[in-house]
Amino acid sequence: MSGRVRRWAGSEAARGLALISPTLLYAMAMLLLPVIIIILFSFWKQTFLTVDHSFRLDNYRAALTQPIYRDLFLRSLWISLTVSVATVVMAYPVAWYISFHGGRNKNLWLFLITVPFLTSYLLRVMSWKLVLGYNGVLNSLLLWLGLIHSPIESLLYNADSVIITLVHSWVAFAILPIFVSLEKIDRSLVEAGQDLGDGLFRSLTKIVLPLSLPGVTSAFLIVMIPTVGDYVTPKLVGGTEGVMIASAIEVNFGRAMNWPLGAALSVTTMVLVASAAGLMVLALRLAVRGVRR
């Protein structure tokens, strides 16, 4: 290769790097650096306002062994797993319908589904308080129908209400990646399968499901990761039974003023989310491989 080729390649790469650098530097300063610092903090110790910078694992010991945190982690993971499974199961038929039967109105359908997602998160969560509350819509409806004689108290302020609210908040987000992967499937494959005598179930399990796996996987991740650390929903509709790890993180950064412990809880959350996500992806792949046989 002559020097000129290298010079040319260099300048092409250099131009790309120069162009992306403002954005990249910004993301480094406001995202990468904070995450690195929070990891560092998780190994330090704080007494009132002074921070001891020597390396220690005390925070992780606390985060992993204290029953309160262990319970919060388990509940957060459990809730986010349930929510992501529920959203994917609910979203798949919708994505399927839009992709295969949407016709010319595909974009309109997608728009209708994304609109509620992009309105205020806070307000959406609050609207479930109106539905599930003691004087709420559901209780009013059941009373009016005569199915119950006094309002059900247990609709709100527990893990179930958190799950329902989270599903409602995230289900639209799960539809999009599944829809995209269904759109990519060559329709002649399905037709060829049916031409060869496949029923609907067979073409679903043998062709469509495996081919839409990437979409299903990203739907899982896109729901699971943010829900583990959700703060607003458990705070508003969770009560004491529905508290999740985000509240503990917030308390340590706020009133409790124990930043290193808060940092350790955050890092542990990230690690847990990442491993749960990894396991999920693996399990999905294996499941589909099993179905395919």
Partner 1 sequence: MRLLSRIRWLPVYLGAFMVFLYFPILLLPLFSFNTGVVAAFPLKGFTTRWYVQLFDNQVMLGAAWNSLMVGLAVSITSTVLAICAARAITRYKFPGQKPATGLIMAPLFLPEIIVAVSMLLVLLQIGIQLSLLTVILGQIVFCLPYSMSVLIAGFEGFDRSLEEASLDLGETAMGTFRRVTLPVVAPAILSSLLVSFTISLDEFLLAFFLSGTETTLPVYIWGQLRFAAKLPEVLALGSLMMTASVILLTVAEIVRRRAEKRVMARGGPNA
Partner 2 sequence: MPDVKPMIEIRNVSRHFGTFRALDQINLDVAAGEFFSLLGPSGCGKTTLLRMLAGLDTPTSGTISIDGADCTEVRANQRPTNMVFQSYAIFPHLNVAENVAYGLKRMRLGRVEEARRVDEALEMVRLPGFGARKGNELSGGQRQRVALARALVMRPKVLLLDEPLSALDKKLREEMQTELRTLQQSVGITFVLVTHDQYEALALSDRIAVMFGGQIAQVASPMEIYQRPTTRKVADFLGGMNFLRGRIAAEAGAALTVETERFGTATLTKPPGFTASGGRATVGIRPERLRVLWDGERAEHELTGRIANRAYFGETTSLSVAIDGLEAPLSIVETNTFGADELNIGAEVRLAFDPEALVLMADPDAR
Site for partner 2 in 2-31 (CB under 8 A): 2, 4-5, 8
* Residue 216 touches which of partner 2, partner 1, none (Cβ within 5-8 Å per kind): none
Question: Using CB under 8 A, which residues numbered 191 to 250 contact partner 1?
Answer: 200, 221-222, 225-226, 228-232, 236, 246, 249-250
Contact 186, 204 (CB under 8 A): no
Residue 164: name the closest of 218, 233, 241, 224 by CA.
233
In terms of CB distance, is 17 or 68 closer to partner 1? 17
Minimum distance of partner 2 from residue 8's CB (angstroms) = 7
The stretch among 64-72, 165-173, 180-188, 207-215 that binds partner 1 (CB under 8 A) is: 165-173
Binding mask 135-164 for partner 1 (x = CB under 8 A): xxx--xx--x--------------------
If one asks whether residue 130 binds partner 1 (CB under 8 A), the answer comes out as yes
Give the DSSP letter of residue 154.
Answer: T
Give the DSSP letter of residue 52.
Answer: E
In terms of CB distance, is 135 or 188 closer to partner 1? 135
Helices assigned H by DSSP within 66-158: 67-101, 106-118, 121-132, 137-145
* Residue 5 touches which of partner 1, partner 2, none (Cβ within 5-8 Å per kind): partner 2
Residue 245: name the closest of 263, 266, 222, 273 by CA.
266
Residues 80, 81, 85, 86, CA torsion sign: negative
Contact 129, 156 (CB under 8 A): yes
Minimum distance of partner 1 from residue 291's CB (angstroms) = 19
Minimum distance of partner 1 from residue 293's CB (angstroms) = 24
Question: Using CB under 8 A, which residues numbered 259 to 288 contact partner 1?
Answer: 259, 262-263, 266, 269-270, 273
If one asks whether residue 196 binds partner 2 (CB under 8 A), the answer comes out as no
What are the backbone angles phi and psi of residue 45, rounded to the nearest 5°?
-140, 145
If one asks whether residue 62 binds partner 1 (CB under 8 A), the answer comes out as no
Q: Distance between CA 103 and CA 202 in Å, rounded?
A: 23
Minimum distance of partner 2 from residue 5's CB (angstroms) = 6
> DSSP for 197-259?
T--HHHHIIIIIHHHTHHHHHHHHHHHHHHHHT--HHIIIIITTTT--HHHHHHHHHTTT--H
What are the backbone angles phi and psi of residue 46, rounded to the nearest 5°?
-125, 125
If one asks whether residue 96 binds partner 1 (CB under 8 A), the answer comes out as yes
* Residue 273 touches which of partner 1, partner 2, none (Cβ within 5-8 Å per kind): partner 1
Chain residues binding partner 2 by CB under 8 A are 1-2, 4-5, 8
